[in-house]
């Protein structure tokens, strides 16, 4: 009886050692796998022709006899997330603080993010027209990056800032949202082959994790329920705030108009361009497509924003601009 028990103890002891060895091998292989993936994640710089092309990178690695790990596509239906987004309130409104708070997300240079554990189904560009709203920008970056990271997207955020040393007769110191977004689209395609584009105001923060920024089959209006508009569309043809569109469709409608200086008009013109080409504007339910609007000073209003004679004039191909500088964040 004693000898039998002793033999069983020895057997269990040996099995325990084997289990520990198997676990050690598993963890070693797991961390080797993770380190290998991280080693070949492409980095980006916000300057022309510097974003890594995945196809060229793959060919280069294969020529060097490096074993590549082919990841499975990310799930189309994401795991259940808490429905309502908890907004992050910046303790300090500066980009250094924002970058520090976002450091755990492993954001790549140039505001680029991509999942490590699966292959993103979409490669999207978030284009943000901007001028003189630094507080809004800090809130925007601090909240949008965590929101998009949960969606397993390969995305890059572009901040397109309007700058002029002196007001010309044309702009009279006014903002041109449409022209900035056309410029952002043109410059983004010099960096990478994006599937679709989201034209996003800097003062709007998504409030529902079900508001997925995937590439739409038809143009998608996302800012359906904005709190400053009492969580409903201000009017039926409203097509502003946040809009998602494929590269094919944006090229088809010839982009935004460049002639709307000051607040208002370019979003209505985008609606007319979209429907003129018989595209269907889609929307999520208001409960899903809900946004919080950040406060900011009012812009100069475009006095011609209601003039329908201006619609469908000005286009993506006719934009004159000078790039003053490229700034790269999240180094």
- 222-276 confidence digits (pLDDT tens): 999 999 999 999 999 999 999 999 999 999 999 998 888 887 789 999 999 999 9
| Residues 328 and 110 sit within 8 Å (Cβ to Cβ) | yes
Give residue 283's pLDDT band: very low, low, confident or very high (50, 70, 90).
very high
Return the DSSP state at 227.
G
Greater pLDDT, 54 or 34: 54
* Residue 113 DSSP symbol: E
The CA–CA distances, whole Å, from 94 to 86, 91, 134, 158 equal: 20, 9, 8, 17
What is the per-residue pLDDT for 172? 63
> Cβ neighbours of residue 282 under 8 Å, at least 6 residues apart?
216, 218, 219, 220, 221
Whether residue 202 contacts residue 133, with contact meaning beta carbons closer than 8 Å, is answered with: yes
Average pLDDT, the chain: 77
Element (H, E) at 31: helix 2-39
Please report which confidence band the pLDDT of residue 107 belongs to, taking 50, 70 and 90 as the band edges: confident
Question: Which pLDDT does position 238 carry in this prediction?
Answer: 94
Asked if residues 121 and 214 have their Cβ atoms less than 8 Å apart, the reply is yes
**Cα 141 from Cα 72, distance rounded (Å):** 29
Q: What angle do CA 12, 14, 18 make, to 5 degrees?
A: 110
In sequence order, the 6+-apart residues with CB closer than 8 A to the CB of 55 are none
Q: Are 212 and 151 in contact (CB under 8 A)?
A: yes
- Average pLDDT score over residue span 98-105: 90
pLDDT digit string (tens) for 165-219?
Answer: 555 555 567 889 999 999 999 999 999 999 999 999 999 999 999 999 999 999 9
What is the arrangement of strands in the sheet containing 242-246, beginning at the earlier edge strand?
Answer: 112-113, 154-161, 123-130, 196-200, 242-246, 220-221, 282-283
Q: What is the pLDDT of residue 251?
A: 94
pLDDT at 57 over 50: no
**Is a pLDDT exceeding 80 seen at residue 20?**
no
Predicted TM-score (pTM) of this structure: 0.75
């Amino acid at each position: 009886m004693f000898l039998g028990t002793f033999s069983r103890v020895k057997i269990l002891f040996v099995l325990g050692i084997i289990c520990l060895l198997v676990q050690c091998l598993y963890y070693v292989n797991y961390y080797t796998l993770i380190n290998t993936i991280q080693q070949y994640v492409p980095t980006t710089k916000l300057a022309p022709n510097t974003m890594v092309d995945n196809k060229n990178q793959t060919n280069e690695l294969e020529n060097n006899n490096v074993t590549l790990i082919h990841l499975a596509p990310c799930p189309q239906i994401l795991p259940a997330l808490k429905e309502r987004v908890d907004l992050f309130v910046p303790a300090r409104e500066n980009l250094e603080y924002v970058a520090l708070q976002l450091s755990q997300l492993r954001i790549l240079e140039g505001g680029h993010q991509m999942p490590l554990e699966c292959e993103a189904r979409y490669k999207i560009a978030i284009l943000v027209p901007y001028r003189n709203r630094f507080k809004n920008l800090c809130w925007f970056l601090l909240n949008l990056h965590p929101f998009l990271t949960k969606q397993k997207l390969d995305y890059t955020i572009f901040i397109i800032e309007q700058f002029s040393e002196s007001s010309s007769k044309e702009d009279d110191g006014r903002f041109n949202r449409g022209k900035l977004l056309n410029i952002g689209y043109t410059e983004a395609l010099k960096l990478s082959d994006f599937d679709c584009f989201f034209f996003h105001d800097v003062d709007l923060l998504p409030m529902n994790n079900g508001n997925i920024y995937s590439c739409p089959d038809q143009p998608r209006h996302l800012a359906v329920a904005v709190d400053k508009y009492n969580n409903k569309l201000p009017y039926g043809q409203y097509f502003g705030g946040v809009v998602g569109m494929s590269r094919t469709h944006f090229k088809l409608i010839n982009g935004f108009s460049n002639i709307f200086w000051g607040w208002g008009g370019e979003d209505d013109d985008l609606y007319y361009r979209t429907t003129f080409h018989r595209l269907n504007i889609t929307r999520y339910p208001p409960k899903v497509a809900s946004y919080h609007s950040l406060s900011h000073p009012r812009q100069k209003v475009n006095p011609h924003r209601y003039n329908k004679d201006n619609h469908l004039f000005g286009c993506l191909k006719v934009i004159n601009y000078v790039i003053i500088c490229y700034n790269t964040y999240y180094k």
